[in-house]
Amino acid sequence: MTSEIENIKTRFGEGIFQVAVRNERRVTLTVDKEKIVDIAGYLYHEFHWRFIIASALESNKGIEIFYHFSNDSSGLILNLKVILDKEKTEIESLTCLFEASSWIEREMHEILGINFLHHPNLEKLISDGNWAEGVYPYRKEPS
């Protein structure tokens, strides 16, 4: 495990629920959703890691979001995984840190109904006016 991952574990302690190391260039951290802005901000400002994109999906545990970060000097891809309760799909937006998350948060809001708090413009990205309200195509059972 790289020193940066150790550093994150030490700094955020209880905010990190699980560490899964696939190999030296692929690591997934399951983190506390309340800490997501702090942890993502730490990666972006302290380590200067690049935000690639985020992926969201519905599983038995709830709505999972993977935030993918890249350390371009070592080739490491770090996935920050958070699990949201299906009844309360809310999480803080990362747009306060970087513009790069703006579009993908709008997209996840649209396809899975995740509410990103404090996003400056949480309008539909893909289907402006073409899909029914409250129908989320990537949910397993459309609500």
**Token couple for 56:** 């969201």
Please state, in angstroms and rounded to a whole number, the distance separating the CA atoms of residues 117 and 120. Answer: 9
Closest to another protein by CB, 14 vs 141, is 141
Task: Confirm or reject binding of residue 21 to another protein (CB under 8 A).
Answer: no
8 A C-beta contact, residue 43 and residue 69: yes
Nearest CA to 36 among 17, 52, 50, 60? 17
Task: Confirm or reject binding of residue 87 to another protein (CB under 8 A).
Answer: no
Minimum CB separation of residue 119 from another protein in Å reads 14
Neighbouring residues of 51: CB distance < 8 A, sequence distance ≥ 6: 40, 44, 67, 68, 69, 94, 97, 98, 100, 101
Minimum CB separation of residue 66 from another protein in Å reads 6
Residue numbers 35-74 binding another protein by CB under 8 A = 48, 50-53, 55, 57, 66, 68, 70, 72-74
Closest to another protein by CB, 12 vs 131, is 131
Task: Confirm or reject binding of residue 137 to another protein (CB under 8 A).
Answer: yes
Please state, in angstroms and rounded to a whole number, the distance separating the CA atoms of residues 79 and 54. Answer: 9
- Could you list the residues that contact another protein (CB under 8 A)? 22, 25-26, 28, 48, 50-53, 55, 57, 66, 68, 70, 72-75, 77, 79, 98-100, 102-104, 124-128, 130, 137-138
